[in-house]
Chain A
Amino acid sequence: MKAFEAELAGLLPRLRRFGRALARDAADADDLVQTALERALKARAQWAPGTRLDSWMMRIMRNCWIDETRSRTRRARTLAPEEDGLAVGDPAPGPEQAAAMRDVDRAMAALPEQQREVIALVLVEGLAYREAADILDIPMGTLTSRLTRGRQALVQMLEAA
């Protein structure tokens, strides 16, 4: 089943983007992708060939992220907001661009988890409502209301920034 690895490899850029939308920095995002890949490779027998591998992977990633945030909550994060911009490894952007990047990251990070994951799937990954609702195992009505609330919060934060 080499096709499985090949298809997963083709998804990596998208999974990294999805990770970036869920996690607050690039390093955390790639850690998340790595954890999810490990889980996926172990659970490969559960993937039905012919079904969407991207949806399957995003579901795994999202579950890994929930596990991660739970253990983080237990560790009680203490990172001050001012330190957000100090993430290493980013290409040096202009001051305006850096501010804009921080704004989006900060606004995303400020969203409640349930709204952020919906925003990440629909507005960042471009999934249809139905697909996103299936990944998250929630009814369509719940999806659209979380999406609306998440949008309103984002617009508010980005306009205020």
Chain B
Amino acid sequence: MEWDDELVAAYADGELHSLIQDRFEEALQRDDALRARVEREKMLRARLGGHFDPVLDEPVPDALRGMLAPRPAADVVSLDAHRRRPDRAWVPTAIAASLVVGLFGGQYLASGGGISTLPAAGGDLAQALDTQLASAPATAGATRIGTTFRDGEGRLCRTFDGADVAGFACRDGRAWRIEMLAPGSGAQASGYQQASSGAMLALQAAQERMAGEPLGEEEERRVRDAGWR
């Protein structure tokens, strides 16, 4: 039987169908020229490998690696600098707000530090995160919960939007860790609280962290009553 180049190459690549492969291997036993052709294909692969595989061991240029380093999306304020600080209660919202506003002109805090020391939410924010359902009616000036979801690590996270700050926080043990902050909607006189641009940014950042769909109303109630597990 004549073995065309395509079959010889497929054999060298381990891609020959098993039915044909048996016949091919029988032929290989008797046919020196066929063996040489297979060898030639394998040599070509080896030569290409010898040429291109060393790229795998080269250091990846910083320009490429930097594109994938954890960093906030444009206009989202990074809290990375806070991660170096020891655990402490949530910074007063007025300070947080001025920090956020100060940074919002395009300045970001330097990145670095570990996730374990992210600031924990405290006070009113912690209470809203702990107790309030996303479906709760909005009260002027009060923190409002946007959506509840799980991140890739299975942690429960919630977006929030208040007078001073918006953002999202994820459950870490018994605390809510602030993952992202942006300016809030500002104190509003009317009873109807419009979602701030900060809340939109928070939602956008949250979507990138979201694994699957946000929790529905019933599920949200259930996980709240179970202590956010």
Contact = CB atoms under 8 A, between A and B. Distances in A.
Q: How large is the interface on A (under 10, 10 to 19, 20 to 34, 35 or more residues)?
A: 35 or more
Given A1-B209, A124-B48, A154-B44, A17 B56 contact: yes
A122 B10 CA distance: 11
A67 interface: no
A13 B47 contact: no
A64 to B, nearest CB: 14
Contact of B10 (A17, A21, A129): A129
A119 B40 contact: no
Given A34-B63, A128-B15, A123 B152 contact: no
If over half of B's interface residues share one DSSP class (helix, strand or loop), that class is named, otherwise mixed; here it is helix
Interface stretch (B27-35, B64-72, B137-145, B185-193): B64-72
Interface of B: 5-6, 9-10, 13, 15, 40-41, 44-45, 47-49, 51-53, 55-58, 60-61, 63-65, 67-70, 151-152, 208-211
Contacts of B10: 129, 144
B64 A12 contact: yes
A99 interface: no
Contacts of A53: none
A37 interface: yes
A49 B211 CA distance: 9
A33 B152 contact: no
Interface stretch (A3-11, A68-76, A77-85): A3-11
